[in-house]
Amino acid sequence: MAYRFGVIPGDGIGPEIVQSALGVLAVVAERVGFTYELIELSGGARTYEETGSPLSLEDLGSVRDADATLKGPVGLPGVRLPDGTEAGLLGGVLRGGLDLFANVRPVVALPGIEGPLHAAPGSIDYVIVRENTEGLYASRGKGVGNDHAVIDTLLVTRPGTERVVRYAFELARSRGGAPHDGVQRVTCVDKANVLRSLYFFRQIFLEIAAEYPEIEAECRYVDAAAQAPRQPRR
């Protein structure tokens, strides 16, 4: 099998990180048995300084056509837009340009990998699915204000919420369930007790959950979800 991978080295430590990742990719390709072509693309703060855009339309098209794209960290503290935010960031460009509505983050305890939780291999295995184009991200470049106050709008839409919630439930359906009890479960993490927009998000979540009766649905406030587990006394 042959693949085409885009590569955006990025800024600062980005090129160093990407070079290390490419070394890992070379080993994986040899062991698994596939070939690939690398297409180096220019994106980030330096690109913005040189061209006035963090990523050209041509390179965005190359990302769209590639089988996958490896992107290093982008942005430099001193390279900023007139509104004070960093120029050279690609989050809005890639998320909006490619409609990347689901930010998918697997979390798993692997054998031989030391971590602060000291968890047994296989005891942690879940996926965070975050809505990636709405919320406060929809306010990129659209904040309004003056010397006394600034407003960034938090946007939640029904179509945007429905698709990311369905993605999460379909993902849960394809997985084996939680390690501790084997139950396929989707947890909605929000701040529905404070923000009307997130209460709206939760209600849509519950509507979609009814379409998947075989999958357990639960809701938690972000405070509880982020709270560290209580450590046993020694």
Could you give the CA distance from residue 33 to residue 217 in angstroms, rounded to a whole number? 40
What lies within 8 Å, CB to CB, of 108 at 6+ separation is 124, 125, 126
Q: What is the mean pLDDT of residues 223-231?
A: 77
Domain boundaries along the sequence of the chain: 1-98, 101-234
Q: Can you tell me the distance from the alpha carbon of 144 to that of 70, in angstroms, rounded to the nearest whole number? A: 34
Q: What's 77's DSSP letter? A: T
Can you tell me the distance from the alpha carbon of 114 to that of 120, in angstroms, rounded to the nearest whole number?
A: 10
- Whole-model pTM: value is 0.89
* pLDDT tens for each residue of 199-211: 999 999 999 999 9
Helix (H, G, I), strand (E, B) or coil at 22: helix
CATH second-level architecture of 101-234?
3-Layer(aba) Sandwich (3.40)
As a whole number of angstroms, the distance between CA 135 and CA 145 comes to: 19
Q: Quick one: pLDDT band at residue 228, thresholds 50, 70, 90?
A: low
pLDDT tens sequence across 140-198: 889 999 999 999 999 999 999 999 999 999 999 999 999 999 999 999 999 999 999 99
The CA-to-CA distance between both ends of the chain, in Å, stands at 53
